[in-house]
């Protein structure tokens, strides 16, 4: 079996993680952004800026944002790089409803963004159709990560780039244990206080702990066929931005 329980990293049927993710994000959609800002002490903005900077987007680019949630990545890329088109997708329609609302209020400036419910493990778009694929805090929640990565590779044009922002593991042991304490005790507390759903934030802590380290994630990218895989640690490795290229031939 290639699917896992994303809370533990152990083999499990795909439905367990898929249903849990659906329940969590449909319930917290309207409060998601407030939680993000408070729990990361605003650092998520710096990490997002790193993703945007690492994304080789031009005014001609077609961009696919997977697990796009309430649209943070899509709007940041739209405002900074003005690509030809962004397809902002997510598994959970309630998250995309918030994104659509921001779009109607002009958050993308003049860039056209379309929104669609899509499971990143089964992308309904043709081969070789995007210049850049982005995924922020999404792949950790996917029970069949290899399949998701194969799908990302498939829809990228030859020479196109995948940029992935995800929580990671600080290499420094002192920083790692401080962060471990914050994850285990404070994240469920903050999450419960802000959204009223402590359970979802216990899951957040567990899934971060079970997620592969920077090197292992990079290897996974290479195993499905990406090349030139590199990453940048953010805030001492609490998060990392991985970038990888689809071979030209």
Ligand X SMILES: C[S@@+](CC[C@H](N)C(=O)[O-])C[C@H]1O[C@@H](n2cnc3c(N)ncnc32)[C@H](O)[C@@H]1O
| Cα distance between residue 71 and residue 56, in whole Å | 19
8 Å CB contact between 82 and 61: no
98 binds ligand X (CB under 6 A): no
Tell me whether residue 136 or residue 238 sits nearer to ligand X (CB atom): 136
Judged by CB under 6 A, the chain residues 71 through 90 that form the site for ligand X are 72-73, 90
Pick from 2, 3, 246: nearest CA to 127: 246
Segment interacting with ligand X, rule: CB under 6 A, options 64-72, 180-188, 212-220, 233-241? 64-72
68 binds ligand X (CB under 6 A): yes
Q: What CA–CA distance (Å, rounded) separates 58 from 157?
A: 14
Question: Which residue has the closest beta carbon to ligand X?
Answer: 69
Assign 149 to helix, strand or coil.
helix
Min CB(179)–ligand X separation in Å? 17
Options 53-61, 114-122, 184-192, 208-216: segment touching ligand X (CB under 6 A): 114-122
Binding region for ligand X (CB under 6 A) out of 53-61, 91-99, 170-178, 182-190: 91-99
Answer whether 60's CB lies under 8 Å from 81's CB: no
Q: Does residue 155 contact residue 129 with C-beta atoms inside 8 Å?
A: yes
Binding mask 158-197 for ligand X (x = CB under 6 A): ----------------------------------------
What is the C-alpha separation between 221 and 198, in angstroms, rounded?
32
Q: Residue 135 belongs to what H/E stretch? A: strand 130-136
Does 138 bind ligand X (CB under 6 A)? Our answer is yes
Residue with tokens 């493990």: 121
Residues that bind ligand X (CB under 6 A): 21, 25, 66-69, 72-73, 90-92, 95, 119-121, 136-138, 141-142
């Amino acid at each position: 079996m290639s699917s896992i329980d994303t809370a533990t990293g152990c083999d499990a049927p795909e439905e367990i993680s898929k249903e849990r993710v659906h329940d969590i994000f449909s319930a917290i959609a309207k409060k998601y952004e407030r939680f993000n800002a408070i729990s990361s002490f605003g650092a998520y903005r710096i990490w997002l800026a790193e993703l945007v900077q690492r994304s080789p987007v031009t005014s001609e680019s077609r961009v696919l944002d997977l697990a796009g949630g309430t649209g943070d990545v899509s709007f940041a890329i739209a405002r900074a790089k003005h690509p030809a088109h962004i397809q902002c997708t997510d598994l959970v329609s309630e998250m995309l409803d918030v994104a659509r609302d921001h779009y109607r209020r002009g958050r993308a400036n003049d860039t056209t963004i379309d929104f669609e419910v899509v499971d990143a493990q089964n992308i309904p778009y043709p081969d070789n159709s995007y210049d850049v694929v982005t995924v922020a805090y999404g792949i950790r929640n996917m029970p069949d990560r290899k399949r998701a990565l194969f799908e990302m590779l498939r829809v990228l044009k030859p020479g196109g780039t995948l940029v992935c922002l995800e929580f990671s593991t600080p290499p420094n042991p002192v920083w790692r244990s401080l962060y471990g304490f914050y994850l285990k005790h404070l994240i469920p507390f903050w999450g419960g206080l802000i959204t009223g759903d402590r359970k979802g934030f216990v899951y957040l802590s567990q899934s971060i702990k079970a997620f592969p380290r920077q090197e292992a994630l990079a290897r996974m990218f290479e195993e499905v066929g990406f090349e030139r895989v590199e990453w940048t640690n953010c805030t001492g490795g609490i998060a990392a931005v991985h970038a990888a290229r689809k071979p030209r031939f």
